[in-house]
Amino acid sequence: MTDAPRSPLAVAPEVADALAAGQPVVALESTIISHGMPYPQNVAMARTVEGIVREHGAVPATIAVLRGRPTVGLSADDLELLASDASVRKVSVRDLGHVVATGGHGATTVASTMRIAALAGIEVFVTGGLGGVHRGAERSMDVSADLTELSRTKVAVVSAGVKSILDIGLTLEVLETLGVPVVGVGTDEFPSFFSRSSGLLVPMRLDTPAEVASMLRATWDLGLESGVAVANPVPESDEMTRADIDGVIDRALADADAVGVVGKDITPYLLGRIVELSDGRSLRTNIALVEHNARVGTQVAVALAALR
C-alpha cells in the first residue's frame, strides 16, 4: 500500500499506478459482499467480478474500510475477511468518520464507495443495485443516502436499477429532483434488478458504453457536480419474471414488518430473506447481473480513459 502524504486512504500500488498513468480503473463496493449475499457465494462473486474487470482491460479497485483505513484495491485475504467476518459493519457516508476513528472494519455502501472512489480519483463504479426510496417512505422517511451521494459526487454508478423492495417510481422522482442523470443502456425502461422491466421509463437512453462515456465526460466538463446512474438491465437469459419475484419481495417486506427491523438493517434483512424465500434462485440472478454490470461498466471505463 502506498500512502500519499497525509492521505487518509490506502491505495493498492496497482491501482495507484493505473490512476497515475490515466489507465482505466473500476471501483467495486463491499456491502454487497458482507451484507448483500451469503458466504461463500459472496467471496466467489467478488473474485469473479474482479477477474471480469481485468479481462476487459481495467484494474479493479474493491473498496472497504479495513482496520480503520479506507482502502482502495483489496487482497484475496481482505475479500475473504469481508465475506466471512461478522464484525464487519455496514458503513455508509455518515458512518465513515466513526469506523475510521474506532479502527474497525467496514463494508462500504454505494454512497460511501462513491465518496472514497472520488477521493482516489476513480470515475466509474460497478455494483448490483442502488439504494433508494423505501416503500412507505412518506411515513418512515427511509430514503437511502445513496441518492444524496449521487447528487454530489462525480462518479458513474453502473447498476441493474433498483429492487422493488423500494418504491421505484419515488426513487426516480427523487433522483430527478436531485439533478442526477439516469441513463438506460439499451433500454427504454428503468430495470428493476431481477427483471428488465419495471413499468417505468428511463429518462434517457444510450446504446453503447462509448456513448455513455461521452455523456459522462460532457456532464463533468460542464462542471456539474453530480454522479450519473447508469442503468444496465439484467440479461434476458438470467432474468426472473415479475411473477416469480414479486411474491417473494412482498413476503420479505411483511416479514421485516413482523420482526420489526429498522434503520440500516432493513436492506440487508430484506436481501437475505429474498435469497431464502426464493431458494437461491434470486442469488443466481443477482450474481449474473453483477457480472454483466462489470462487463459493461469496464467498457465504459475503458472508453472514458480513451477520451482523456
Active site residues: 29, 163
CA distance 80 to 277: 26
Tell me which residue of 124, 186, 198, 109 sits closest to 161, measured CA to CA. Answer: 198
CA distance 183 to 214: 12
Part of the chain binding ligand PSU (CB under 6 A), chosen from 17-25, 126-134, 196-204, 220-228: 126-134
Residue count (the chain): 308
Output 148 or 208, the one with its CB closest to ligand PSU: 148
Following DSSP, what letter does each residue of 154-206 receive, concatenated?
--EEEE-B--TTB-HHHHHHHHHHTT--EEEES-SB--BTTBS--S-B-SEEE
Distance set, CA 45 to CA 38, 109, 201, 209 (Å): 10, 17, 30, 23
Q: How far is the CB of 144 from Mn ion (least distance, A)?
A: 6
**List 16, 32, 122, 283, residue binding ligand PSU (CB under 6 A):** 32
The reply to whether 64 sits near ligand PSU by the rule CB under 6 A is no
Output 92 or 299, the one with its CB closest to ligand PSU: 92
**List 142, 149, 167, 291, residue binding Mn ion (CB under 5 A):** 142
Part of the chain binding Mn ion (CB under 5 A), chosen from 43-51, 136-144, 166-174, 244-252: 136-144
Q: How far is the CB of 264 from Mn ion (least distance, A)?
A: 6
**List 18, 19, 36, 124, residue binding ligand PSU (CB under 6 A):** 36
**List 128, 184, 209, 297, residue binding ligand PSU (CB under 6 A):** 128
Tell me which residue of 97, 75, 140 sits closest to 8, measured CA to CA. Answer: 97
The reply to whether 271 sits near ligand PSU by the rule CB under 6 A is yes
Q: How far is the CB of 221 from ligand PSU (least distance, A)?
A: 27
Output 171 or 298, the one with its CB closest to ligand PSU: 171
**Cell representation of residue 274:** 429474498
CB atoms near residue 173 (< 10 Å) = 12
The reply to whether 285 sits near ligand PSU by the rule CB under 6 A is no
Output 144 or 187, the one with its CB closest to ligand PSU: 144
**List 171, 267, 282, 299, residue binding ligand PSU (CB under 6 A):** 267
Residue 2 CB partners (closer than 8 Å, separation 6+): 10, 11, 13, 16
Does 146 appear as a known binding residue? yes
Q: How far is the CB of 62 from ligand PSU (least distance, A)?
A: 13
CA distance 28 to 254: 31
Please count the helices (runs of H) and the strands (runs of E) in the chain: 13, 11
The reply to whether 42 sits near ligand PSU by the rule CB under 6 A is no
Residue 63 CB partners (closer than 8 Å, separation 6+): 27, 28, 29, 30, 70, 71, 72, 74, 108, 113, 116, 117
According to CB under 6 A, which residues from 73 to 92 bind ligand PSU?
92
**List 64, 66, 145, 301, residue binding ligand PSU (CB under 6 A):** 145
Are residues 191 and 161 in contact, defined by beta-carbon separation less than 8 angstroms?
A: yes
**Cell representation of residue 296:** 459493461
Residues in the site for ligand PSU, rule: CB under 6 A? 29, 31-32, 36, 92, 109-110, 128-129, 131, 144-146, 163, 193, 264, 267, 271
Annotated binding site: 90, 110, 142, 144-146
